[in-house]
Structure 1
Amino acid sequence: MRLSGIKPMWAVALLVFATATLDGQSLRHRHEQILHHLAAEEWAQAEKALVELRQTAPSTFTRNSYDYLLARVNQKLGKTDAARVEYLNVVKRDALVSEYAYWHLAEIVRAADEFQLERQYLEKLFSGYPDSLLVDRARWRLAESYWESEEYQRAIAVYTEIANGRGPRARAAQLQIARAELRQGQAFQARATLEKRLTIGAPDDVALEAVRLLDEIDTRTGAALSVADHLQRARIYQANRAFDAARRHYQWIIDRFADHQNVPEALFAIGRGYYLQDNYDQAIVWYERAHNQFPKTPAGEQGYYQAGHAQANAGRWLRALKRYEEFIEAYPESEFLSGAHLNAIDVLRSAGKTEDALAWCRRTIERFPGSLPATTA
């Protein structure tokens, strides 16, 4: 039986109904017709076909849980009361799709602001069907329900269960715990929760929200931060392209601890942020500072090199060439040496200086014989 065109929301039900036990050609035809209407999102026609099937073959209708499909169709048509009745019939007889019926029942009562009843349905789902694919979503929704009802301590309890797991949802739960603690006026505890979150995992969007909350808390409470705190937050902002926020933390380090070991990184990162915001003139200023103040550090070396890229992106081809030449002379053992040669070729081509570009091609081939840069040149 072909189910192409069926949307994912129907997939679970149709895995059941596609193998439904039907007696006679007429019933099989009705079954095909129902599947066709669902695939085409013809909800009214699907409802009509399902009602007719119930009238024609009630035992077949119930045995194969077509009432679940009818409930889904009614829900799509906005007939939530009718859908609710059908879902309740499904769970009453503990049909194979009962876990999904509970999920949709929870959806319906949630829309009606019946949060207490919603929680009952969700709890029945993950207590009665602990291996269901819906369990994680149901538990998250239960926590949200408590949050929306301002029952923050209960929300924290559920979010804590989720946070003890793994994956994106567990990380997001930690963030929600901190938010709930803030709602309860527990700024100190919220801060501890957020800082714990930052010690694990990647600088992802959850970490970004965590540092934003931390900055908000610390601005309000006047908390004193260490260089490590500022550096950690700056790196997370930078990784998430929140460059303005990153600059504030990097600038704090530069202004107060000019000789700190992380100042070269801070100078370069500010330049990098401006570069990625297409503000090439400011990028050059900060790249040059990184190099001039700390020429023997990786950040100083990269700043000197990247300033050439900024000149090139600003359309100043010959200035870019000059910088690449200076870089090659200043850092003859750099890992970026071959890149500087190839970039010199590119800016000369962009400047329309073909003969000079060819000369640099020959120079690159001689400098890196048998290598990928030589082949590229």
Structure 2
Amino acid sequence: MRITRIIGILALLGGLATVACAQEADVEERQPNAKLTAEEADRLLTTGRAALEDGMYRMARHRLGELLAGAPDRKRQVEAALWLARTHCAEQNPRKALAVLHDHAPQVRGAAMTADYALTTAQAQFALGEWASAAEGLEAFKEKYAEQPMAPAALHLLAQVQVAQTNWAAARETADMLTARWADAPDMPAAWFHLATALAAAGQTNDALSAFQFVATNQAGQVWGERAELQVFELKLRMGEYPPTRELVQTLQTNGNLSAEARARGYQVVAESMAAETNYTQALQMMDKALAATTDPATRLASQAQKAYLLVCAGQTQAGILLMREVVTQLPDPAQAAQWHLRMAAELAVREQWTEAAAEYQVWLDAFERMPGTAAAREGLADALLALGRFSEAAAAYSRAVVEQTNATRRLLILQQQGDAHFAAGEFQSAHAAYLSALEAPPPAGEETDRILYQLAETELAMDDIAAGEIRLLELSRAATDSAFIPKAIMRLGELYDARGAGESAIEQYSRLTQTNTASAIRSEALFARGMIRYRMGLFPEALADFTRIRDELPETPPAAQAMFMRGWCLYMLGKDVAALQVCQQFLEDYPNSEFVPDVHFWLGEYAFNHGDFAGAEERFVQLATDHPKSPRAADALFWAGRAAVAARHYLAANEHFNHLMERYPDYVRLAETLLAQGDVLSELGQFPAAILAFNEVIVRFPQQPEAWVAWGRKGDCQFTLGQENPARYEEALLSYRTLADSAGAPFDLRLQARFKTGRSLEKMGRPTAALDRYLEVVYAFLQEPKPDAEATVWFTRAAFSAAGLQEKAGRWNEAYNIYRRVSDSGVAAASEARARMTRIRQDHWNLF
């Protein structure tokens, strides 16, 4: 019967989604041997729920089943049963869901959990067609459970049950109750939408149209509203009427019942939609269709305004501007003209076409001043002028924008920008007044206040009011906040004291910033400034110490190069008249028997290594180890000789150095690291079996050291490579990767890497289902980590894309989309690529969304 088909549709829309395709056979599922800890239980629950949300039902079922079997307490067991039942429902196995719920219902405590059980039970009964039982259970949500969070979902389901029973009056009454009590809940429009769908299918067109229009009006601009508008379109189309809608290109092209203006409006909406997806070429094509379809002059002008905007978006700037200027003078609705012109100017600003943006904002103000949008136009003009370096004009524009702006936050920002523009123009009195006005506005929080205070101080200094500026900087420098303007204030004070010859006072200020907890850039600047003052004061050892700290601690900061230069001057002033390198070389010639010769050799080797002279570094380190075999530096020298050879890609020589090191110094403190490095060298030489032996030695001899974790991973990499010729080696690689993945003390990123490579190995072995599980474990573990590091992000990204790739290969587009969404939502560097793939999936498989 027709109504039976509709009930199936309603069940689908209600969330009892069908499984897209059959799940593969179970592989490698862990069986708990004992009760779980609370932390393990919570992780299983989080992973199970996430897998259920992403449509990975088999994984969700096994994780939640594991939790149910080993839950440490009743509460977690009850919660596990609930989510397992929901998973069964999602897998279209409602009888199993009811069995699980029935078995654990006696243990349920609390109104919230009882209500959850009642709702899930009703969902399973609904799926089985047990409508009377479902309705009976759901009636409790009208009163008894009315205050529970799941009440809207329950009433929504009740309405579906009543629709299935063709009890239209009861279904409408339930939908009305949802509207009255839960107007903001997503289930409210969903219930009305499903009721309307059923009414339309039953031939009750007027009632269906009324319900759809209610949703479209109530949810205007939202997903349900847009869907309802589509349905209104279809219903009215049957009735000979045409409302505008989006993404109906085929209908717009082929339906002969549409009026010309309706068709034109439809193309406009489609163009807007395509533009929102930055598909400007097709958007412009749709606008041309709209222009071709319309016969109404006003509609044609509106379409031309929209086309002008799209031309700018598409990079055809001059064509867009010329068309817009022509159109806005002819549009009969000034508000519409102002809106389109302002939108175009804002787009020019977004594209940083500042000259054109400034011109269009000014044209807009000349034509539409005092109309809605005036504040935005004035601020936009000021921003464009500031970006163009027209500071006085920008300041004047900001002063007018402040008057128009009513939003307190925006006013504060405009006042600051006005001050900045005046300052850049050298108009310090005006800048001072603007900054004071900003301080007197509703007080900003921390950083903003400090910024204003700092700029006020700079303005006072520029006005030659040195005392006022210094006092303000001193007060700011003592503020107990983490603002970036605190160290800036301290640095500025040091500069001022130094400029007037108060060297000791300047040193005192710079010393406040030389601690390791200060940001590296500021700390480096402070060390360099302090070193320069000490140098001018003749305190060469102290100055040398400052410059050396920059070299040792902050070699990548801007002052580093000048600091190294100043080290040479300090050495010269101390009686060493050549650069540091020459001094060290001369030292070796003059004092060949000194106890410090090995240290100097080692420093020279380090110097060469750090400057990319790997051959010179290797030679220097070998000389040290050969000439001074009993020196504490000798073992380190051989180690670094090997490292230098590796850097130069002289792997045979590197292997020889590492062998000599282990033969001569078997108790070397860095022996584990040496073995690890040797294994890497052997890997580079393609001697993977020998490399595995080196990694095994690390694992056996140093099982408690961090190098052992790395060795497990490197060993697995070698076995994986060997698997290309002998697939049996993939099993060995699996064991190595699993050992690392299960090492609780190993760094998080190493464990993620091991899990990813486990999945990669399984994929090579033709076990995509198991590989998918491993990839997803990486994804979900990363998302649960509070502060994952950059390395962890790499493996999360690779795992997510690999998992999504498997789903795409299997034709599971929804699941692949959900995984890409996880990447997009995480904000990692690959988020944009994930979004692009999401867009591709939606475009290629639009019928699934």
TM-score, normalised to structure 1, is 0.71
Deviation at 1:157, TM superposition (A): 2.7
Q: Work out the CA distance in 2 between the residues paired with 1:151 and 1:270.
A: 52
SS of the residue corresponding to residue 485 of structure 2 reads helix
Deviation at 1:94, TM superposition (A): 7.1
SS of the residue corresponding to residue 197 of structure 1 reads coil
Task: Name 2:697's counterpart in structure 1.
Answer: 367
Are 1:313 and 2:647 counterparts?
Answer: yes
Deviation at 1:167, TM superposition (A): 4.4
SS of the residue corresponding to residue 40 of structure 1 reads helix
1:131 to 408, 430, 444: 444
Are 1:181 and 2:497 counterparts?
Answer: yes
TM-aligned CA distance change 1:284 to 1:78, over 3 Å: closer
Q: Work out the CA distance in 1 between the residues paired with 2:336 and 2:460.
A: 46
Q: Do the aligned residues in 2 keep the contact of 1:238 with 1:273 (CA within 8 Å)?
A: no
Q: Which runs of 4+ in 1 moved over 6 A?
A: 1-5, 249-252, 263-267, 288-291
Q: Which ranges in structure 1 are unaligned for 5 or more consecutive residues?
A: 6-23
Count of aligned residue pairs for this structure pair: 343
1:217 to 533, 540, 561: 533
Task: Name 2:424's counterpart in structure 1.
Answer: 111
Return the letter of the residue paired with 2:347.
A
Are 1:68 and 2:379 counterparts?
Answer: yes
Please show how residues 236-247 of structure 1 align to structure 2 within 5 Å: 236-241=550-555, 242=560, 244=564
Q: Do the aligned residues in 2 keep the contact of 1:234 with 1:245 (CA within 8 Å)?
A: no
Q: Which ranges in structure 2 are unaligned for 5 or more consecutive residues?
A: 1-220, 222-271, 279-331, 350-355, 572-579, 588-593, 701-710, 719-849
SS of the residue corresponding to residue 198 of structure 1 reads coil
Are 1:192 and 2:508 counterparts?
Answer: yes
Q: Do the aligned residues in 2 keep the contact of 1:106 with 1:117 (CA within 8 Å)?
A: yes
Task: Name 2:346's counterpart in structure 1.
Answer: 38
**C-alpha distance after superposition, 1:90-133 (max 9, x if no partner):** 44577323323322322332233122221221122123242166
Are 1:143 and 2:457 counterparts?
Answer: yes
Q: Work out the CA distance in 2 between the residues paired with 1:265 and 1:232.
A: 21
Q: Do the aligned residues in 1 keep the contact of 2:608 with 2:614 (CA within 8 Å)?
A: yes
TM-aligned CA distance change 1:108 to 1:185, over 3 Å: same
TM-aligned CA distance change 1:367 to 1:183, over 3 Å: same
Further displaced range: 169-178 or 93-102: 93-102
Q: Work out the CA distance in 2 between the residues paired with 1:328 and 1:174.
A: 52
Deviation at 1:325, TM superposition (A): 1.0
Please show how residues 230-269 of structure 1 align to structure 2 within 5 Å: 233-241=547-555, 242=560, 244=564
TM-aligned CA distance change 1:101 to 1:294, over 3 Å: farther
Return the letter of the residue paired with 1:239.
E
Deviation at 1:278, TM superposition (A): 0.5
TM-aligned CA distance change 1:343 to 1:209, over 3 Å: same
Q: Work out the CA distance in 1 between the residues paired with 2:614 and 2:567.
A: 16
TM-aligned CA distance change 1:158 to 1:307, over 3 Å: farther
TM-aligned CA distance change 1:337 to 1:77, over 3 Å: closer
Task: Name 2:247's counterpart in structure 1.
Answer: none
Task: Name 2:398's counterpart in structure 1.
Answer: 87
Task: Name 1:276's counterpart in structure 2.
Answer: 610
Deviation at 1:36, TM superposition (A): 2.5
SS of the residue corresponding to residue 206 of structure 1 reads helix
Q: Work out the CA distance in 2 between the residues paired with 1:202 and 1:270.
A: 30
TM-aligned CA distance change 1:25 to 1:259, over 3 Å: farther
SS of the residue corresponding to residue 113 of structure 1 reads coil
Larger radius of gyration: 2
Q: Work out the CA distance in 2 between the residues paired with 1:213 and 1:77.
A: 34
Q: Work out the CA distance in 1 between the residues paired with 2:427 and 2:508.
A: 34
Return the letter of the residue paired with 1:367.
E
Deviation at 1:34, TM superposition (A): 0.5
Q: Work out the CA distance in 1 between the residues paired with 2:473 and 2:601.
A: 39
Q: Do the aligned residues in 2 keep the contact of 1:203 with 1:239 (CA within 8 Å)?
A: no
Q: Work out the CA distance in 2 between the residues paired with 1:129 and 1:264.
A: 65
Q: Do the aligned residues in 2 keep the contact of 1:194 with 1:210 (CA within 8 Å)?
A: yes
Q: Percent identity?
A: 16
Q: Which has the higher contact order (CA 8 A, sep 6+)?
A: 1
TM-aligned CA distance change 1:210 to 1:339, over 3 Å: same
TM-aligned CA distance change 1:85 to 1:170, over 3 Å: closer
Q: Work out the CA distance in 1 between the residues paired with 2:675 and 2:540.
A: 47
Return the letter of the residue paired with 1:140.
Y
Q: Do the aligned residues in 2 keep the contact of 1:271 with 1:284 (CA within 8 Å)?
A: yes
TM-aligned CA distance change 1:231 to 1:45, over 3 Å: closer
Q: Work out the CA distance in 2 between the residues paired with 1:303 and 1:69.
A: 63
TM-score, normalised to structure 2, is 0.35
Q: Work out the CA distance in 2 between the residues paired with 1:324 and 1:275.
A: 17
Deviation at 1:187, TM superposition (A): 0.8
Return the letter of the residue paired with 2:641.
A
